[in-house]
Amino acid sequence: MTNIPKPDPALLEKLAEANRILYDQSIVDGFGHISVRHPASPGHFLLSCNRAPGLVTPDDILTYDFNGDLAVPSDKRSYLERFIHSEIYKARPEVGSIVHSHSQSVIPFGVTGQRLRPVFHMSGFLGSGSALFEIRDAGGNTDMLIRDSGLGRALAQSLGQQNCVLMRGHGSTTVAPTIELVVYRAIYAEINAKLQLQAAALGPVNFLNEEEAALAAASTEGQVVRAWDLWRGRIGPLS
Ligand code: MN
């Protein structure tokens, strides 16, 4: 329990920056979170304590195991929905970072059972379409929150091999290999949702097909640092 290597301070700083970028970009508000897998201990992950993402500092970052329990003791409160992260890391070894948000434009899709599909090259990561999670199938009538490992596991099963899962009546969860990429995908999932709604109002939509989506994702995501530097320049100093 205590022999987990201390995470690199630069990683804690980057995770705090990612929290603030997601707030600045209106992907999270007082709620929502981003985590990163512990690079030196792949069975653990790093996630802020229970705090609004726009206020997170490196000192707020806690270390969890895949049961959603604190692996390094702390007096700070945990997010209720940390099981989203623990169960997806367990199910998807290649996932290095996860965003959970309630960003507004994806909500109409979840409640109508429609998938997000890539309307332009920036959202090629959506591939053949987002996954959809129905919490009623997993837990009956609930407060819609992923409060335990069982609900987290059901969410991870719904996500399957996709990069984004819509959560009916709640929000969405997006995954990627790195912090920079998951921030990119969370931002562009929201933008894609807006554009898809606009396009659908005009007529039948000609989405990127799977091959186009994969080619576009490889091109745009290879340049993610350019966007990251821009987003990072907008947030204030971490304190
Ligand atoms: Mn939530």
Here the CATH number for the domain that contains residue 171 is 3.40.225.10
CA of 145 to the centre of ligand 1 (A): 6
CA of 80 to the centre of ligand 1 (A): 9
Asked if residue 161 belongs to a domain, the reply is yes
Q: CB atoms < 10 A from the CB of 174, how many?
A: 31
- CA neighbours closer than 13 Å in the CB half-sphere of residue 110: 25
Asked if residue 63 belongs to a domain, the reply is yes
How many domains are there within the chain? 1
Q: Which amino acid is at 209?
A: N
Q: Answer left, alpha or beta for residue 94, where phi above 0 means left and psi between -120 and 50 means alpha.
A: alpha
Q: According to the model, what pLDDT value does residue 139 have? A: 97
Q: Residue 79 sits in which domain range?
A: 9-234
Asked if residue 2 belongs to a domain, the reply is no
Nearest-CA neighbor of 157 among 190, 125, 132?
Answer: 132
Asked if residue 1 belongs to a domain, the reply is no
DSSP assignment of 108-154 equals: HHHHHTPPP---SGGGGGGTT--EEE-HHHHHSS--S---SHHHHHH
Residues of the chain with pLDDT under 50: none
| Measured distance CA(89)–CA(177) in Å, rounded | 11
CA of 6 to the centre of ligand 1 (A): 28
| Measured distance CA(69)–CA(82) in Å, rounded | 9
CA of 134 to the centre of ligand 1 (A): 14
SS3 194: helix
Q: According to the model, what pLDDT value does residue 2 have? A: 59
The reported pTM is 0.97
CA of 33 to the centre of ligand 1 (A): 8
Helix, strand, coil: what percent of the chain each, to 5? Answer: 45, 15, 40
Q: According to the model, what pLDDT value does residue 3 have? A: 84
Asked if residue 4 belongs to a domain, the reply is no
Q: Would you name the residues annotated as active-site residues? A: 81
